[in-house]
Amino acid sequence: MTTYGPGVALIVVDLQNDFATREGSLYVHGGEEIVDAVNAQAESATAAGSPVFWTQDWHPEVTPHFVTSGGVWPPHCVAGTAGAEFHADARVTGEVIRKGVDGTDGYSGFSVRDPRSGVRTSTVLGDRLMAAGCGQVVVVGLAGDHCVKETALDARRLGLDVVVPLELTRFVNLQPGDDERAVAELRAAGVRVDSAPPARSDV
């Protein structure tokens, strides 16, 4: 059991219109349902002195991440478009970490990978957490089988304790069963996957 405080950070992944609204180009079913609860988490975290980070998928118009250029995803979260904006109800406070900029595959908030060269580079998120002295992160947002998962796995690679509350994420399920496989992969990596959201006073 853990409680928000300066040693624990909240990372909100990609709560953006293209994922979290029905009109979005890569709508994650039920994505809009988590927005209020995520806001409440962010409020609790901030009140307890926990840093809060919001990742933002932020792609160029043409990128090998998109199916139109050899990738797997429909174009989404193109820099500067409405689809890339945070959900209108999201109360974004704290630092925004953009990923996928410059044509990289930005799945994790901690690192991005250039699909052409295979080179992986770090975002500032890991440095920020180290500088803040955070040993634990709570990862929420969209999508549980992609960016939430990759962010949580990277956090484990950095040696952090990681909690993913299932009520605060939703899954794409591009292939049926991706949700269960993602949860299994997270648990195998030592991530605590909770089936209920953390109580507000008892994360």
Nearer to Zn ion, 57 or 179 (CB): 57
Q: For strand 169-170 and strand 161-165, is the pairing parallel, antiparallel, or unpaired? A: unpaired
141 contacts 15 by C-beta, under 8 angstroms: yes
Cα–Cα distance for residue pair 133/6, rounded to 1 Å = 8
Quick one: what does residue 98 bind among Zn ion, ligand VGL, none, with the CB cut-off 5 to 8 Å set by partner type? none
Nearer to Zn ion, 150 or 179 (CB): 150
Instruction: Identify whether 149 is a catalytic site residue.
Output: no
57 near Zn ion, judged by CB under 5 A: yes
- Position 81: which residue type? T
Nearer to ligand VGL, 18 or 50 (CB): 18
Rg (CA), the chain: 16
- Cβ 60 to Zn ion, closest distance in Å? 11
Tokens found for residue 79: 């820099």
Nearer to ligand VGL, 4 or 86 (CB): 86
Closest residue (Cβ) to Zn ion?
57
Instruction: Identify whether 134 is a catalytic site residue.
Output: no
Quick one: what does residue 162 bind among ligand VGL, Zn ion, none, with the CB cut-off 5 to 8 Å set by partner type? none
The span of 55-63, 114-122, 136-144, 163-171 binding Zn ion (CB under 5 A) equals: 55-63
Near Zn ion in 119-158, by CB under 5 A: none
Nearer to ligand VGL, 4 or 10 (CB): 10
Instruction: Identify whether 99 is a catalytic site residue.
Output: yes
Helices (H), the chain: 17-20, 35-47, 125-132, 147-157, 178-188
Q: H or E element: which one contains 57? A: strand 52-57
Cα–Cα distance for residue pair 43/53, rounded to 1 Å = 12
179 near Zn ion, judged by CB under 5 A: no
Do you find a cis peptide bond into 196, omega within 30 degrees of 0?
A: no
Q: Which of 18, 105, 147, 179 is catalytic?
A: 147
The footprint of ligand VGL (CB under 6 A) covers 14, 19, 57, 73, 142-143, 146-147
Tokens found for residue 19: 């994922």
SS3 17: helix
Q: Which residues pair with 137 in a beta bridge?
A: 9, 162
Q: Which of 14, 18, 105, 145 is catalytic?
A: 14
Binding site for Zn ion (CB under 5 A): 57
- Report the catalytic residues: 14, 99, 147
